[in-house]
Amino acid sequence: MRSDRWRRWAVLLAALGAVAATTMLGRWQLSRAAQKEALAEELRTQSLAAPVDLGAVSPAEAADPRWRSRRVIARGHWQAARTVFLDNRQMNGRPGFYVVTPLRLSGRDDAILVQRGWVPRDLQDRTRLPEVKSPDGEVRILARIAPPPTKLYEFAGEQSGPIRQNLDLQSYARETGLVLWPVSLVQLDDPGAPGPHDGLARQWPQPAVDVHKHYGYAAQWFALAALIAGLYVWFQLLRPRLRRSR
C-alpha cells in the first residue's frame, strides 16, 4: 500500500509539473505575440510620421530599433560603380534583382546602403545587367530606415561582382573602402521628387511580424496542458472509481 501511495503522489507531481510547464510555455508565447503586436504598431506609427532629414540623425540613432521604418529624406551622391544586384528576389511574383547602391551623404564622409528598388531579370541571359539610372549630381530621396538587406540561403561562400545572392555589410565596407552606416535605407516612391523616374519598382513587402505563429504555438501548449490534466483525471480518479463501483 505504501508503494501505491508513493506511486500516486509521483504521478500527481509529474502531472502538475507538466501542466505548469506547458501552461507557462503557452503564456510565454502569448507574451511574445503581445510584444510583436506592439512592435507592429510602433512600426506603423513610424511609417506614418512626417519624414525627417537624415542629416540630423546619427548612425547610432538610426540603428536604434525605435527608428526602424522611420521615413527620412536623404541627400547625397550615388556611388553607381558600387551598385550590387541581389539575385533571386521577387516582387509581385516575378523573379528579378534588388538594386542596392551606396549613397555618399552630402556634407559627410560616410555613406549608407540604399535598397533602391526591383528590376526584372533577363530570362535569356541571367548574367546580363539591367540598366539603372543613377544621376551624377546630388539626389534627394524619400526612404525608410531598415536593417541591411535580408539574406537568402546560398551554397557558395562570400561572393563578389555586381550580381550576388547576399550582401554582408561589413565585408562590403572593407571591399569598397566606404564608411557605411549599420543600417540601410529602403527607397520609397516620392511623387514630389524632381527629375525623371528611375524605372525601379518599389512595392516592398511589409516587415514580417509573425504574430499568428505565436498564437498557434500558445494554443498547442494550452491544449497539451488540458490533455495532461484530462488524462490524469481519467486514469487516476475516474477510472479507479468506476472499477470499484463494479
Over 60: is that where the pLDDT of 19 sits? yes
Whether 74 maps to a domain, the answer reads yes
Q: Please tell me whether residues 34 and 78 are part of one structural domain.
A: no
Average pLDDT over residues 193-216: 77
**Helix boundaries (H) for 109-234:** 169-176, 211-232
Whether 18 maps to a domain, the answer reads yes
Q: Please tell me whether residues 175 and 239 are part of one structural domain.
A: no
Instruction: Select the more confidently predicted residue: 73 or 125.
Output: 73
Whether 55 maps to a domain, the answer reads no
Residue 204 falls in which region: left (phi positive, over 0), alpha (psi -120 to 50) or beta: beta
Q: Average pLDDT of the chain?
A: 87
Whether 118 maps to a domain, the answer reads yes
Q: Please tell me whether residues 108 and 154 are part of one structural domain.
A: yes
Over 70: is that where the pLDDT of 140 sits? yes
Q: Please tell me whether residues 164 and 215 are part of one structural domain.
A: no
**With bands split at pLDDT 50, 70 and 90, how would you rate the model's confidence at 208?**
low
Rounded Cα distance between 46 and 138, Å, is 26
Q: Please tell me whether residues 74 and 177 are part of one structural domain.
A: yes
Choose the weakest-confidence range: 116-120, 122-126, 129-133.
122-126
Average pLDDT over residues 204-229: 86
Using an 8 Å Cβ cutoff, are 162 and 41 in contact?
no
**Which pLDDT belongs to residue 158?**
57
What's the domain range around 31? 2-41+211-245
**With bands split at pLDDT 50, 70 and 90, how would you rate the model's confidence at 160?**
confident
How many domains would you assign to the chain? 2
User: 73-115: per-residue pLDDT in tens?
Assistant: 999 999 999 999 999 998 988 889 999 999 999 999 999 999 9
Whether 85 maps to a domain, the answer reads yes
Over 90: is that where the pLDDT of 67 sits? no
Using an 8 Å Cβ cutoff, are 58 and 83 in contact?
no
3-state secondary structure of 213: helix
Using an 8 Å Cβ cutoff, are 145 and 73 in contact?
no
**With bands split at pLDDT 50, 70 and 90, how would you rate the model's confidence at 207?**
low
**With bands split at pLDDT 50, 70 and 90, how would you rate the model's confidence at 127?**
confident
Q: Please tell me whether residues 184 and 216 are part of one structural domain.
A: no
Q: Please tell me whether residues 83 and 173 are part of one structural domain.
A: yes
**With bands split at pLDDT 50, 70 and 90, how would you rate the model's confidence at 38?**
confident
Whether 195 maps to a domain, the answer reads no
Q: Please tell me whether residues 83 and 118 are part of one structural domain.
A: yes
Helix (H) or strand (E) holding 46: helix 2-48
pTM, entire model: 0.71
Q: Please tell me whether residues 183 and 226 are part of one structural domain.
A: no
**With bands split at pLDDT 50, 70 and 90, how would you rate the model's confidence at 237?**
confident
* Cα angle, residue 109 at apex, residues 106 and 115 outer, rounded to 5°: 65
Residue 190 falls in which region: left (phi positive, over 0), alpha (psi -120 to 50) or beta: beta
Whether 34 maps to a domain, the answer reads yes
Q: Please tell me whether residues 172 and 89 are part of one structural domain.
A: yes
Residue 60 is placed in which grid cell? 547610432
Rounded Cα distance between 173 and 157, Å, is 17
Q: Please tell me whether residues 102 and 148 are part of one structural domain.
A: yes
Task: Indicate the residue type of 232.
Answer: Y
Whether 174 maps to a domain, the answer reads yes
Q: Please tell me whether residues 165 and 216 are part of one structural domain.
A: no
